[in-house]
Amino acid sequence: MSLMRSEDYLPRPAVIQKIIAENSQIKTFVLALADQQANQAFTYRPGQFMMVSLPHRGEAPISFSSTPTRPGTIELSVRRAGSLTAAMHALQAGDQVGLRGPYGRPFVMEDLQGRDLLVVAGGIGLAPLRSVINGCLDTPGHGKLTILYGSRVPSDIAFRGDIDIWQHHPAVTCHLTVDAPEPGWDGPVGLVTGLLGQVKVDPASSTALVCGPPVMIAAVLTALGKMGFADEEILTTMERHMKCGIGVCRHCHLDSKLVCVDGPVFSRAQLKKLQMDRL
Amino acid sequence: MRHVLTTCVYCGCGCGVYLREENGRVTGASPSRNHPVSRGNLCVKGWHLHDFIHSPKRLTTPLMRKNGELVPVSWDAALDYTAQELGRIGASTNGQGIGVLSSAKCTNEENFLLQKFSRAVLKTNNIDHCARL
Amino acid sequence: MRDDAMDQAFILAKDHLKSFLRKVKKGHRLVAPVTNQHNDTLFCTINHLDRVPINLTEQAQNGIKSFLFPQQETLATYAVSADGYRFNRTDVRPEPTVYFGVRPCDLMAVLYMDVVFMGGVKDQHYLEKRQDSVLIGLNCNAPFANCFCSATKSGPFLETGFDLMFTDLGDRFLVEVGRPKGREMLQAWQQFFTPAEAEDTRAQYQLSLEAMAGFRLDVYADQAIQRLAAGLVPESVWEQLSLRCQDCAGCAYICPTCTCFTIVDRPAGPDCGERLRSWDACTFAGFTRLAGGHNPVAHKIHAIQTRFLHKLKYDVDKHGRPSCVGCGRCVGICFGGTDIVRFIKMAGED
Amino acid sequence: MAGLATTFGSGAMTNAINEIEDAEVILVIGSNTTEAHPQVARRMLNAVDKGAKLIVIDPRRTRLAECATLHLALAPGTDIPLLNAMMRVILDESLADQLFIDMRTENFAALRAMLYRLDLAELEAVTGVLLEDIRRAAQLYARARRSVVCYCLGITQHICGTANVQSIANLAMLTGHVEKQFTGVDPLRGQNNVQGACDMGALPNVFPGYQAVDNRDYREKFERVWQTRLPAAPGLSLLDMTHSGACGPMRAMFIMGENPLRSDPSLDRVEETLTSLAFLAVSDIFLTETAAHAHVVFPAASFAEKTGTFTNTERRVQLVRQAIPPIGDCRTDADIIIALSGRLGYAMAYESTAEIMEEIALLAPIYAGIRHDRLRHSWGLQWPCWNTAHPGTPFLHKYYFTRGKGHFVPNDHLPPAELPCQDFPFLLNSGRIYHHYHTGSMTRQSALLNRECGEALLMIHPADAARLKVRGGDRLCMASRRGAVEIKAEITDQVAAGSVYTNFHFGETPINRLTIAAQDPVAQCPEFKVCAVRLEKL
């Protein structure tokens, strides 16, 4: 598909339209490319990512949390982790960042068409899956959606606006859990794997989408396998250190694969061929 | 593009290293294969010897303290003032009020000149460097 | 000279080599191995053919990787102004370059780099330097002390991967034509070349046989590749290597097929700076560490595995051949003795 | 280096680096060689591959210790008792080289008398090293034909640093492991040109070439060449200057390429001195902590922008060649000194740094044969190099010691100045790390080196960590009697319980706020390697 494309590593300027504080650690940046024409022509797919630049800070890969079914702007949800993301959290609407991309192998939405989806997410891991969920809900003929979302504490629960909509959507079942409760929390306490036993999904007609911290992904993948999900129907997206985004620099190596071009979306079947102990 | 053989500055081993010079900038460092110490390799510091040379944090102009702040001045201003102060304090303390620190990172020639300057001009043996650190 | 006559080989008398290179230099930058006053041989830009001795008898310590994929290069400059946050290409268009005297291992390495940088999405910066370059190879009549290209099937004589290929026949060079750029070069300066005779090609064949017999190291790469593929390399090998590795990255930097890099922004002032690409190495702990501190390659042992698996397993699976070209440059430069020849030997032992 | 000067007569590495490769036994003491001198470590590992035995004496299990035949993890500051115990074993087992002792040394009786007074069981207890291991180390070292001792700042940065070095020299002379190729005593110099700075007389008591300033003959020679009167009394040493305080003798300082506000111990004291000066001029390539306190700052050219020479740890004088012109408005330190000197009425006219070397050769006999044009066409020359035909000297003390006969100096154990107590229960040791150099002003500018190692980590033993309820990555407050820093914990059994270890390269974590200014009375080397601290989890 991209055989003839060439990469010059030049980011394009993008303007922050709006910043939504999801919790104390995560902000969602609503962005539009400064060049209006380019912004209109810009397309991407859920699961892909952009390389985001900030002056003097370099670049970092951030996956889309928005869905291409709602064009005009793109949304990148960023957890404060290193110096670039910390600097990004200090920005305000109207400020600019540099963007290049989109990169990576996406979730193939056509394959998900008509299937029931079981979404299992932890923390910032809901960001790329939010892109899939909202994309599905925007497309007629989608199946049943079950969303399980784990956070550290109740005040860490991100994307509350979306969760509110999902919780009231007839086709969606949405369960939240936290590692540790806070006053006022009457929901479940415990790991997100604990919720898996409480949901009613038919593994034969469902696809599972998983994203979160590495330990959580490993646990959930195993649990889903035990529930009867086929390895090809368990999809996850991997986080890696990246520099080029086009499969050259090799920072994101995962065994023989490169996450930036062979992923970031992988099925459990693909991962099983690799070394799972290095999630 | 040129390769300029020089000596690494990052430890007492003294590896032979080629600096890659391109358009007035140093853009790389690589070992000399036949140098008796480096023998074709460098440690990670040596391979990154060029990284600091064009650092934006390099000082590029003389500075002098004015109203508590260090501000850029001309070479003449900085040298004149320094000579005046060293001369004044040297004279009033018979050289004993002046201390000179030389450097284990500077060249032999510079160390030689600085101790000569201390002894012959400032008239003090108060010269040392961090040999023991 | 007619086009269809180009498939055959030619002869360039050694007496005319300098005259030929002088013509070549008129339209190209000339890069060739030169031995300096310290007896080190490096590929250098030749500014004055009469002042520097091109040395075709030593192995250059640097190879031509650093020309096509420099240790540090500026990808772009950036500035923040009223205009916003803008990136600009630093448009130094690479000079068309003739690389002369490139050994088979280094030619194979360029073929590999072509796949890495231009096989999928094309890396613009590599592409620009590569597309205007002409590779003139030199077959190796006598392998150097650390060479093992016969074990990796990337020498000592090559039949492909060059624009022109020279073989030293004593008082003359046998010149073979590879890609069209070589043909053009030969046509442009045909006054120096005469068609080769059958005895010339026989002489070349004889030399290639002698070269194959001239290797001083016994390196059984195929055996190591098979044992890696079968998962038969014991954990103790990796443990010993990781204990001995001193983290200098010399093996990766010197390797003609190691292409890992990093990109960093270096400020030039409060509102501007440049984006630099520099060599990096998969054996560094920071190579895979995420911003939050999590490192998916948590142990040195895995970083070391990555390096050898990439060269001798992943690339074998992907391209059908290892991405080690047997140049031997990493042999002996390693602080701890963990070079690929040592590994191949250790991996082959029961 | 005073320790070797009193015993051998010359304080420098007695071998060339490459000779280490062919030693049979290598004894490494107080040197984290793989991190601080990678090329030397490379020779050691090569030697091990060839069958050599490697003995590492270090309180920490360093990477080199992991590769060693024998690792003696002694209690910090007990080098003398350990070396004495080894010597006692050598005497007891008749492994001493009596012929060498008779022919080449003096004062052996005093050493023997001291050694026979020692109780090995007591030494075992003091050092914390099993007598069996001490015995094995002594046997290995003494029995081999070619044994090399390498030591570094782990030996010298103690209040008994000179005595430590003398004890090493005693060991080498006792077994005759000195005068031959592949055999000797090798102090590894920390900084790139620390050997050269000493050679050039950037010391308070000697002119270039170790010629004492209070010796009238030497002084007159220099006065004749420089055509001016020179002060006769030795000057103040580094710490006497930087620790003289607000009421001390220092009124003005000129500092070239040094950063005492990071590198010296008890930084608060240094800061007091510097801020009280009537005048401070600093010449440096970066605005260091020290430069930020100056009245005048000169922008100096880096090594890539000038020509001159460095002298490495094996006494090899090598050329530094200019690759680019000075950046911006920078000037070389030589140009700065020449300009100042001219303004003070003393003209220094040199057409190049090569001419400066000619003057050095004229004045310092050990450099007499060294010229830039000789260096340009060689891999450098190892001093002593007596004339322009002399090939240099790869190993020292062949046939005779510089001082004539080697002199045994017996030494007793002297505990560190500050040991852990109830209030400060941990022993802090500090040193270099592989990825950074000295105060980090250069290496911290490298994005990659900073990525590989971007902050100071405090190594804590798992047992101590458990007791303090500290996990890896937790932030700690570490305090000594002199100051406190915040630092991140790294849990590792490379350090012994009760000891902690970290690096001093990081401005964010100025370890030398904590270290003690106690110093060796002879070499005036501060005791960086031992001080008492307490830890609190933040």
pLDDT band of residue A276 (cuts 50, 70, 90) is very low
Which residue type is seen at D45? L
In degrees and rounded to multiples of 5, residue C65 shows phi and psi of: -55, -45
Contact flag B6-D303 (C-beta cutoff 8 Å): yes
Domain D426-537: assigned CATH number: 2.40.40.20
pLDDT band of residue C21 (cuts 50, 70, 90) is very high
The predicted pLDDT at position D35 comes to 87
User: Using one digit for the tens of pLDDT, what is the confidence trace for A2-28?
Assistant: 446 888 899 999 999 999 999 999 999
Q: Of C349, D490, D349, D242, which is closest to residue B129 (Cα–Cα)?
A: D242
Q: Is the pLDDT of residue B113 over 80?
A: yes
Residues 6+ apart with CB under 8 A from C12: C20, C166, C172, C173, C175, C192, C193
User: Using one digit for the tens of pLDDT, what is the confidence trace for A132-163?
Assistant: 999 999 998 888 999 999 999 999 999 999 99
Any alpha helices (H) in C169-249, and if so which ranges? 180-188, 198-212, 221-229, 235-244
Task: Calculate ∠ Cα D465-D468-D469, nearest 5°.
Answer: 80
The predicted pLDDT at position D2 comes to 61
Q: Is the pLDDT of residue A107 over 60?
A: yes
Contact flag A81-C292 (C-beta cutoff 8 Å): yes
On average, the pLDDT of chain D sits at: 91
Q: Of C125, C137, C237, C147, which is closest to residue C181 (Cα–Cα)?
A: C137
Which residues in A lie closer than 8 A to residue C81 (C-beta atoms)?
none
In this prediction, residues C88-106 reach a mean pLDDT of 91
Q: Of C146, C339, C61, which is closest to residue D45 (Cα–Cα)?
A: C339
pLDDT band of residue C94 (cuts 50, 70, 90) is confident
Q: What is the DSSP letter of D481?
A: S
Contact flag D17-B36 (C-beta cutoff 8 Å): yes
Q: Is the pLDDT of residue D4 over 90?
A: no
pLDDT band of residue C2 (cuts 50, 70, 90) is very low
Interchain CB contact of C234 with D (< 8 Å): no
The angle that helices D120-127 and D79-92 make with each other, rounded to 10 degrees, is: 150
**B118 to chain C, closest Cα gap in Å:** 37
Interchain CB contact of C265 with B (< 8 Å): no
Contact flag C333-B39 (C-beta cutoff 8 Å): yes
Q: Is the pLDDT of residue A274 over 90?
A: no
Q: Domain locations in chain A?
A: 12-103, 109-237
Any alpha helices (H) in A73-125, and if so which ranges? 83-89, 109-112
What's the distance, CA D460 to chain centroid?
Answer: 25
Task: Calculate ∠ Cα C173-C178-C183, nearest 5°.
Answer: 85
Task: Calculate ∠ Cα C114-C120-C126, nearest 5°.
Answer: 40
CB-CB contact of B6 with B19 (8 Å): yes
Q: Is the pLDDT of residue A62 over 60?
A: yes
The C-alpha atoms of residue A19 and residue D468 are separated, in whole angstroms, by 42
User: Using one digit for the tens of pLDDT, what is the confidence trace for D144-197?
Assistant: 999 999 998 888 888 888 899 999 999 999 999 987 778 888 888 778 899 999
Any alpha helices (H) in chain A, and if so which ranges? 36-41, 83-89, 109-112, 126-138, 160-167, 193-196, 214-227, 259-262, 268-273
In this prediction, residues A45-65 reach a mean pLDDT of 96
Please report the number of interchain residue pairs, chain C to chain D, with beta-carbon separation below 8 angstroms.
Answer: 45
The predicted pLDDT at position A277 comes to 44
CB-CB contact of D382 with D393 (8 Å): yes
CB-CB contact of D225 with D359 (8 Å): yes
The C-alpha atoms of residue D291 and residue D261 are separated, in whole angstroms, by 9
Q: Of C303, D278, D178, which is closest to residue B92 (Cα–Cα)?
A: D278
What's the distance, CA C344 to chain centroid?
Answer: 20
Name which of C243, C285, C293 is nearest D452 (Cβ-Cβ): C285
Which of the other chains make 3 or more beta carbon contacts under 8 angstroms with chain C? A, B, D
Name which of B27, B43, B54 is nearest C71 (Cβ-Cβ): B27
Contact flag C280-D448 (C-beta cutoff 8 Å): yes
The C-alpha atoms of residue A101 and residue B66 are separated, in whole angstroms, by 50
User: Using one digit for the tens of pLDDT, what is the confidence trace for C56-73?
Assistant: 999 999 989 999 999 999
Nearest residue in B to D367, CA atom:
B108
Q: What is the side-by-side strand order in the sheet with A26-33?
A: A58-63, A49-54, A96-103, A12-21, A26-33, A74-79
Q: Is the pLDDT of residue C203 over 70?
A: yes
Contact flag C121-A246 (C-beta cutoff 8 Å): yes
Q: Is the pLDDT of residue D200 over 60?
A: yes
User: Using one digit for the tens of pLDDT, what is the confidence trace for D219-272?
Assistant: 999 999 999 999 999 999 998 999 888 888 999 999 999 988 887 777 888 899
Q: Of C284, C292, C302, C181, which is closest to residue C239 (Cα–Cα)?
A: C302
Q: Of D135, D129, D164, which is closest to residue D6 (Cα–Cα)?
A: D164
The predicted pLDDT at position C348 comes to 86
Helix (H, G, I), strand (E, B) or coil at B75: helix
Q: Give the percent of chain C with pLDDT over 70.
A: 98
| Domain A109-237 listed as CATH 3.40.50.460 | no
Residues 6+ apart with CB under 8 A from D105: D173, D405, D406, D407, D408
ipTM: 0.92
| Domain D2-188 listed as CATH 2.60.40.420 | no
Q: Give the percent of chain A with pLDDT over 70.
A: 97
Ranges A196-200, C78-82, D336-340, most confident: D336-340
In this prediction, residues A54-77 reach a mean pLDDT of 95
The predicted pLDDT at position A275 comes to 63
Q: Which of C103-117, C156-170, D396-410 has the lowest mean pLDDT?
A: D396-410
Name which of A13, A34, A239 is nearest C290 (Cβ-Cβ): A239
**D332 to chain B, closest Cα gap in Å:** 9
Which residue type is seen at D228? T
Half-sphere exposure in the Cβ direction for D134 (13 Å, CA): 28
In degrees and rounded to multiples of 5, residue C303 shows phi and psi of: -65, -40
Name which of D63, D448, D473 is nearest C262 (Cβ-Cβ): D448
The C-alpha atoms of residue D60 and residue D32 are separated, in whole angstroms, by 9
Contact flag C280-D41 (C-beta cutoff 8 Å): no
Half-sphere exposure in the Cβ direction for A135 (13 Å, CA): 26
CATH architecture label of A12-103: Beta Barrel (2.40)
User: Using one digit for the tens of pLDDT, what is the confidence trace for B30-58?
Assistant: 999 999 998 888 999 999 999 999 999 99
DSSP string, D316-363: EEEEE---SPPSTT-B-HHHHHHHHHHHTT-----SSHHHHHHHHHHH
Contact flag C337-D46 (C-beta cutoff 8 Å): yes
pLDDT band of residue D434 (cuts 50, 70, 90) is confident
In this prediction, residues D27-52 reach a mean pLDDT of 91
The torsion region of residue D505 among left (phi > 0), alpha (psi -120 to 50) and beta comes to alpha
Q: Is the pLDDT of residue C120 over 50?
A: yes
Q: Which of A97-106, D37-46, D347-356 has the lowest mean pLDDT?
A: D37-46
Interchain CB contact of C248 with B (< 8 Å): yes
Nearest residue in B to D281, CA atom:
B82
- Parallel, antiparallel or unpaired: strands A116-122 and A206-211: parallel
Q: Is the pLDDT of residue C309 over 90?
A: yes
The C-alpha atoms of residue A226 and residue A228 are separated, in whole angstroms, by 5
Domain B2-52: assigned CATH number: 2.20.25.90
The C-alpha atoms of residue A6 and residue C117 are separated, in whole angstroms, by 10
Place of tokens 């000075």: D326
pLDDT higher for D432 or B119?
A: B119
The angle that helices D79-92 and D108-117 make with each other, rounded to 10 degrees, is: 100
The C-alpha atoms of residue D412 and residue C32 are separated, in whole angstroms, by 63
pLDDT band of residue D397 (cuts 50, 70, 90) is low
In this structure, which CATH number among 3.40.50.2020, 3.40.50.740, 3.40.50.720, 3.40.640.10 belongs to the domain D194-382?
3.40.50.740
Interchain CB contact of B19 with C (< 8 Å): no
